[in-house]
Structure formats: C-alpha cells, structure tokens
Amino acid sequence: MKTLEQIAAQLEGYDPNALPASDALAFLSLLVVPVRDVQQVPLLEALGRVLAADIISPVDVPPHDNSAMDGFAFDSRQLVAGQALRLRSTGTALAGQAWRGHAGMGDCVKIMTGAIMPAGLDTVVPQEFVTVDGDSIVIPSGLLQPGDNRRLRGEDLATGKPALFKGELVTPARLGLAASLGLASLPVLRRLRVAYFSTGDEILSLGEPPREGAVYDSNRYTVFGMLTRMGCEVIDMGVVRDDPALLEAAFLDAATRADAVITSGGVSVGEADHTKAMMKKLGDVAFWRIAMRPGRPMAVGRIMSAKLCIKSASSPADTKSISYLSDSIYLQSSNANGAILFGLPGNPVAVMVTFLAFVRPALLQMMGAIPVPQPLLKATSLEDIRKKPGRTEYQRCHVSTSSSGALQVKTTGSQGSGVLRSMAEANGLMVLHHSQGNVAVGGEVDVLMFDGCI
C-alpha cells in the first residue's frame, strides 16, 4: 500500500495548494483499491451491481433459426429476377413449437414472429407485402433477397462466447441478456459500504427547532441520494459537533464499518480546526486547494479503523478514546488498511459538485467498475459567461433542444456555492475547463448531465 507521499511523487508538478482538477482525479485513481469480496446473487438482486467475472454464454441465442416477421416462409431458390412468385400455403408455424409438416418447391408456410423456421425454408416475406389469392400468395418481384427476415441460431450469442464482462455494471439491458441465457444468478462484487456525516456546531438535524445562526443539514440528504443512486450500502452517522472526542469517535466508528468515509465541513482555511486535526491524527491525509469553482477545499486519504488503532496502541491509556466500541463492532472492519476518506467542503453546492467530479469516479473504481470517463455533451451557450483561465468551473445549467434539434444551454442564475435551489433547477453542469477563458453567446461548451447521477 502506497503512502500519500509516494502517490504524490508519481504526479509531475503535484502541488496540494493549487491542484488542477485533472491531477485530483489522477491522484484518486492511484489511491483507491477495488473491493474483492464476491457474492452470487439472484438475478433480480444483481441490478446496479458490478460483475465479478466474465459471463460465458452456455447456450446459443437464439437457440434456433426463427422468423423475424409475421409472414410466409419459403425456399429462396424459387426467386427469379424480374418475376412475381406464386406459392401455395401449406400450413402455419406458431411461436413456441416446431412445425411438423413438409413444404416443397411451390409451397410456403404461414409463420409467426419467433417461430422456428421449417426445414428447408430460409426466407420470410412479411404478410403485408403479399397478395392473398385463395390458398395461395403472390410475392412481387424485386422485393426480397435470400435469407431476408430470418434470425440465425446463435446470431445474438453463440455457446462459449463471452456475453458480459468483469467490471461491467449490471444495467437493465445486461439483466435481460443474462436472463436470455437462462442464468438465475450472477457473480458480483459486494456493495461498497460508505459512511458519511456532517460536521459543525451550526448544523441542525431535521426535527430540531430553529436557532439563531444555525442551518438545517441538507448535505447528508444529497449525499445519501447520490450514494443510493450508485448502489452503495450507506451508513448515515448524522451530525457531529466540533468536539475532538466526538469527532474521534465518529471517525473511528466510520472507518471500522465502511470502505469509505465522506464528511462535509471543517476542511476550509479559517474554520475550526478540530476536524482537520482529527483527520491528521487518525490517518494519512492530504488537504487540497483544488483549482476549481465551486468546491476548492478538499481532504483525501486513509483513516484508521478502531481495530487498527487498538493494534497500534502503545499503552493501555492509548485505548481509552476507543473504549466505547464493542468487539462486535470493530471486528466488522471491512478494510484491513482502514477506510478511504473524502473530506468535502460544507457548502451544499460544493458538496454535490466535488462528489460528482471526484468522489463518484473514485467510488466506482472502488466498486470494481471498469473505468469509464464521464461523458460530456457539446452544447451552444445562450449567454456570455465570464471565466478566468487557471481553474475548472462547474456551473449549474439547464440544457434544452433548439428548434433545429441542437443542444443549447444556459446557467440557472446565481452560482454561489450555497445556492442549492439553483442545483435543484439544473439538469447538468457546464464544465469550463482549466485553460478555458470567457465564453461568448453562441460558443460551444461541454456539459455533464445529471441523469443517473443525482
């Protein structure tokens, strides 16, 4: 396991006090490690999980040649260029059962979509293209090629071929594909356990009466929503006051129970330093000033679990601060090296932006998912936007479609990091890159859409 100092040495020009967003992502990709525990779960419980192994098809899909249309099946050797074809219908092939009759030259078989192709017949003419004349049909000339409207055995997947791959998220389409192979369960990596809490004496939990200078905690609810959307096992630890003993207990408990710990508040310059001091005391932690807006301050690193603290205690007195933890709790430690820490800013929008930009990709890597860059769409700006080169800006925006069908975008108003309403009104983030400057009306910008994330 590399220390943060060793990881930083791998990044050219690493400066924690002026860190480009791209370097923050690179650092996190070197810090986190995927979970390894494998579970075999019923198919309906696999949705949103990460595959732990390649899935090899045990069958041909489809299992037989079949019709792609409702129509009439016939032998294509009877097609003659420039001539209509008259055929006599000798029966009907239904889906779910093989037709047992015989069709020779001059014959055809009425067939339903998905029905097995009768022996010797290789082409299907859709029923709406023929003229019916008694027990015969007439196919116009030049309409078909041999093999038209026939699905071949194994056309989708052949026996022994890979169908799904390790590291893929089980999406609805992949769930259906697994079902088409007759698989009742799938091997997946266990869900990532993530603990989170807010810090600060000014934070109110829901149900508490209002008081002067205090605000209700929104960060726990947005973080809960984003983690749940990712399929994580979430551990809500509430609000922790600016008290060293309470903070130490919360960090140790969180690191013992979870793979990752997310906090909000207490990492900015000038704030009460209890949170930062406790992070330093209990782990290997770096404090960043990222060249971005919003969300400049962030802490990352590893926090020791209570179990690890007990093992490293130099005297009985060293264990007093963790005596509140029972054996039944600390023996559940999910990470032998402690937990990955993400210390986020306190402002609501900054929390969501830093989560989307940095935490979410890192957690996906911890889940064992194949790394996939977050897709950015191109859109035309409907307004002038001021932007200083030298930092990445994530502006809340609303993307729509113009009358010509092109994507267009405008901001949702004030971009203050405490204006959560503007985040709720947005459907994406306008990503203005590190070296980018002002954007004029009609200029092209990149957009990160929210769908599926928040």
Closest CA to 393 of 418, 343, 429: 429
Tens digits of residue pLDDT in 108-153: 999 999 999 999 999 999 999 999 999 999 999 999 999 999 999 9
Mean pLDDT computed over 309-334: 43
CATH code of the domain containing 302: 3.40.980.10
Q: Which residue has the higher pLDDT, 314 or 264?
A: 264
Do 382 and 361 fall into the same domain?
Answer: no
Do 70 and 54 fall into the same domain?
Answer: no
Identify whether 387 is part of a domain.
Answer: yes
Tens digits of residue pLDDT in 274-318: 888 899 999 999 999 999 999 999 999 999 876 656 555 444 444
Tokens of 67: 């019709």
- Which residue range forms the structural domain that includes residue 90? 66-151
Do 355 and 395 fall into the same domain?
Answer: no
Do 309 and 382 fall into the same domain?
Answer: no
pLDDT band at residue 418 using 50, 70 and 90 as cut-offs? confident
Closest CA to 68 of 130, 122, 129, 112: 112
Tokens of 194: 């993530």
Mean pLDDT computed over 37-43: 97
Say what the pLDDT of residue 267 is: 86
Say what the pLDDT of residue 327 is: 36
Mean pLDDT computed over 196-206: 92
Say what the pLDDT of residue 85 is: 97
Do 230 and 347 fall into the same domain?
Answer: yes
CATH code of the domain containing 109: 2.170.190.11
Do 232 and 335 fall into the same domain?
Answer: yes
Identify whether 454 is part of a domain.
Answer: no
Query: Does pLDDT of 236 surpass 70?
Result: yes
Is residue 421 packed enough to be buried (19+ CB in 10 Å), middle (13-18) or exposed (0-12)?
middle
Mean pLDDT computed over 407-423: 89
This prediction's pTM:
0.86
Residue with tokens 């370097």: 23
CA 62, chain centre distance (Å): 30
Residue 358 DSSP symbol: I
Q: What SS3 state is found at 314?
A: coil
**Residue 270: other Cβ atoms inside 10 A:** 5
Do 383 and 347 fall into the same domain?
Answer: no
Do 57 and 146 fall into the same domain?
Answer: no
